[in-house]
Structure 1
Amino acid sequence: MPDRTLDIDLDHRRGGFSLTGRASLPLSGVTGIAGPNGAGKTSLLRVIAGLDRTRGNTIRFDSETWQYDTAFLPAHRRRAPLVFQDSRLFTHLSVAGNLDYAGRRAAPGGHGPDRAELIDLLQLAPLMARRTADLSGGERQRVALGRALSAGPRLLLLDEAFSALDAGFRQNLLPVLRERLTHWQLPALVVSHSARELAVMADHVLPVENGRVGTLCPRDAWLAGSEGAGDTTGEPGAVLTGRITGHDARLHLTDLHIGEHRIALPGLTGLSVGREARLYVPARDITLALDAVDGLSVRNRLPATVAAITDRPDTAWCDVELEVATQRLCARITRAAAEALSLKPGDTVIALIKSASLAPRQD
């Protein structure tokens, strides 16, 4: 059976802005949408959701035509709710009322959690009777996500939908939400400026820039190959995947094994032992040593093999690609440091990773 896809062919013009390009997005897992401010990311989600209609767009969801020429399926029949950064809740209803409103309109055959699972996932129990106008920004985002999931969606569209969440809550929520989306077989498109967020959530990334839809690529390729895929410095990063093996309640640290190697992380104590976790590691937060070094505050040390060294033209920097237990990391160091260490492909080094770089933070 062929893979199900969301096919878009855009010639979208609204006012002085245009968004063009074609893409075929998998209707499984999570697709990240990345690009600078004003690139067209929100416009893309609005077109897919059916909130904006112009004649030049073609949208097909699996075998169903959502828009083509004069044909246009309205938003409520697409069942692809769009969660905005500013939440847009019904202020005349309580939190429970917002969830109930969506639940009453859910069509059969949709995907998502039952009521108890939803409340537990988003920690909504203390908020259910409160007016949405009295909630904080992060609380409103949790309710908006809950309302979208209550609607029995076939496709979930998230536009910076985690930006106001407390950093610790967000770090715990994202891997669990990703796991739940897989369990519910609910595909999602996630717009985010945070490479860390997309590293945890996305399987593929679709870049959008200057009103043009780019080429879909695997998440790791995007992280490694796009200067815009790093954080605010534009530096690259990489993803390490490991398994949680224990928690230290006193030190508030979580043990994660990557192959046979152990590291300790802050901010993951809400995740259960045995769960797989993804870590986004910025290239600038890795220091390299030739041998084990004592007397340092850096506790996370992974044996690695140098796979490649790439100079950054007209800068003092070079990127060192590393193999760690069959996975890849990237370290950005000065060329002077690389020369002082006499680094070359095949060398064995110790990758020192700052715990602070793996802790919850605002990107």
Structure 2
Amino acid sequence: MSIQARFKLSYSGFELDVDLELPGKGVTALFGPSGCGKTSLLRCMAGLTRTPVGQLTVNGEVWQSDAFFMPTHQRPLGYVFQEAALFAHLSVRRNLLYGQARVAPAERRIELDSVVDLLGIAHLLERMPQGLSGGERQRVAIARALLTSPRLLLMDEPLAALDVARKNEFLPYLERLHDELDIPVIYVSHAPDEVARLADTLVVMQQGRALAVGPLTETMARLDLPLHLGEDAGVVLQAVVAELDTAWHLARVEFAGGSLWVRDAGHAIGKSVRVRILARDVSIALAPVSGISIQNCLPATVDQIATDYHPALTLLRLRLGASPLLARLTRRSAASLELASNKLVWVQIKAVALIG
């Protein structure tokens, strides 16, 4: 199962030129700065922008080729914009039924009740859009898109218009979509926290081109990409909850390379979770250190060393068994520790955030 997308497009001051093969399941994030072509690519995939060169195949079904173009209204996709485009004169329920009515009953694969439960909007069904918060409107917009029984869901920065509080309320619903629905999602974002929580695959874009495509963890840990993450540089590890310390509200999670104590987020033992470790929360020692507040100290190997966004800083890529890790420290510290590729060190990890 895969999605093949090849598009070329140029207009004044911009050129899009991509040739991608993406997984036909899970969440693929198109990530990069404003103006890099993320939304242009999404519009091409939706058929909203017709390109001189364009090919799109979704899990074996040709939607576009050099000789064929499926119009947008015939493509079995859902599209969620930055602003929820709900019909103001219709209640939430009628907005949802409008989406469902686009699909013949025999072709419906998603039912109204299941979507309402998944997105937690049962209490909103009889309300009008103008009475909803931004996050509630976006949940309704996603529900309406899902009720078209799409074979591909396109999401263009759906959280961009939300403040931090509303965004934090909304993200768990997107995580439920990721975990419970078997619909491939192409998710446009320039926010590292969203990508870290939701994406399985990362496409790094710059100036209309895809610089890299790969699994989230490995791609975020690459030092040769201009991700422009600054203080948000870090990795995301897939882990499993192995132990709970209820007295101190901590959980121990195991990953491919060791285990970490993190804040208990209420997950049961055996639950798969994501752990995001920011480079700024990692320090380096040449031997195990005792008598400090940091809970996690693990052996690692220096993999790569690169310059960072400020001339005083260095960014390290390390290996904890099979897992990558990034660490940020000053160039003076790196020199005093005589850090070099393949050197064995101990990493101390603080303030780890359990995010999945």
SS in 1 for 2:53: coil
Q: Is the 8 A contact 1:32 1:202 kept in 2?
A: yes
Gaps of 5+ in 2: none
Total equivalences in the alignment? 346
The verdict on how the C-alpha distance between 1:245 and 1:176 changes in structure 2, with shifts beyond 3 A counting, is farther
> Which residue is 1:202 aligned to?
199
Q: Is the 8 A contact 2:274 2:354 kept in 1?
A: no
> Which residue is 2:261 aligned to?
263
> Which residue is 1:26 aligned to?
23
Shift of 1:349: 1.0
Q: Is the 8 A contact 2:250 2:261 kept in 1?
A: no
The verdict on how the C-alpha distance between 1:242 and 1:316 changes in structure 2, with shifts beyond 3 A counting, is same
Alignment partner of 1:117 out of 110, 114, 117: 114
Please, what is the CA RMSD of the aligned residues? 3.0
Q: Is the 8 A contact 2:159 2:167 kept in 1?
A: no
Q: List per-residue Cα deviations over 1:154-210 (Å, max 9, x = no partner).
A: 0011111234273433453444332223xx2x1111111122322332232223222
SS in 2 for 1:36: coil
Gaps of 5+ in 1: none
> Which residue is 2:317 aligned to?
321
Q: Is the 8 A contact 1:34 1:193 kept in 2?
A: yes
Q: Which consecutive aligned stretches of 4+ in structure 1 deviate over 6 angstroms post-superposition? A: 246-252
What is the alpha-carbon distance in structure 2 between the residues aligned to residue 77 and residue 343 of structure 1? 57
Aligned ranges for residues 23-62 of structure 1 at < 5 Å? Answer: 23-62=20-59
Alignment partner of 1:304 out of 282, 299, 304: 299
What is the alpha-carbon distance in structure 2 between the residues aligned to residue 176 and residue 249 of structure 1? 26
Shift of 1:45: 0.8
Shift of 1:321: 2.7
Q: List per-residue Cα deviations over 1:78-129 (Å, max 9, x = no partner).
A: 1111111112112211222222211222355565x54333223222122222
What is the alpha-carbon distance in structure 2 between the residues aligned to residue 174 and residue 354 of structure 1? 24
Is 1:172 matched with 2:167? no
SS in 2 for 1:156: strand
Aligned ranges for residues 2-21 of structure 1 at < 5 Å? Answer: 4-13=1-10, 17-21=14-18
Q: Is the 8 A contact 1:34 1:207 kept in 2?
A: yes
Q: List per-residue Cα deviations over 1:58-97 (Å, max 9, x = no partner).
A: 3233443323346321222211111111121122112222
Is 1:333 matched with 2:333? no
Letter of the aligned partner of 1:308 in structure 2?
D
Q: Is the 8 A contact 1:230 1:237 kept in 2?
A: no
Is 1:151 matched with 2:148? yes
SS in 1 for 2:28: strand
Q: List per-residue Cα deviations over 1:214-265 (Å, max 9, x = no partner).
A: 442332332122554363x276321222123577889776553446634222
Aligned ranges for residues 144-293 of structure 1 at < 5 Å? Answer: 144-163=141-160, 164=162, 166-181=166-181, 184=182, 186-225=183-222, 227-229=225-227, 231=229, 233=230, 236-245=233-242, 255-258=252-255, 261-265=259-263, 268-269=265-266, 271-289=267-285, 290-293=287-290
The verdict on how the C-alpha distance between 1:135 and 1:272 changes in structure 2, with shifts beyond 3 A counting, is farther
The verdict on how the C-alpha distance between 1:18 and 1:282 changes in structure 2, with shifts beyond 3 A counting, is same
What is the alpha-carbon distance in structure 1 between the residues aligned to residue 178 and residue 93 of structure 2? 24
* TM-score calculated relative to the size of structure 2: 0.84
What is the alpha-carbon distance in structure 1 between the residues aligned to residue 46 and residue 101 of structure 2? 20
The verdict on how the C-alpha distance between 1:91 and 1:332 changes in structure 2, with shifts beyond 3 A counting, is same
> Which residue is 2:77 aligned to?
80
Letter of the aligned partner of 1:305 in structure 2?
A
The verdict on how the C-alpha distance between 1:304 and 1:230 changes in structure 2, with shifts beyond 3 A counting, is farther
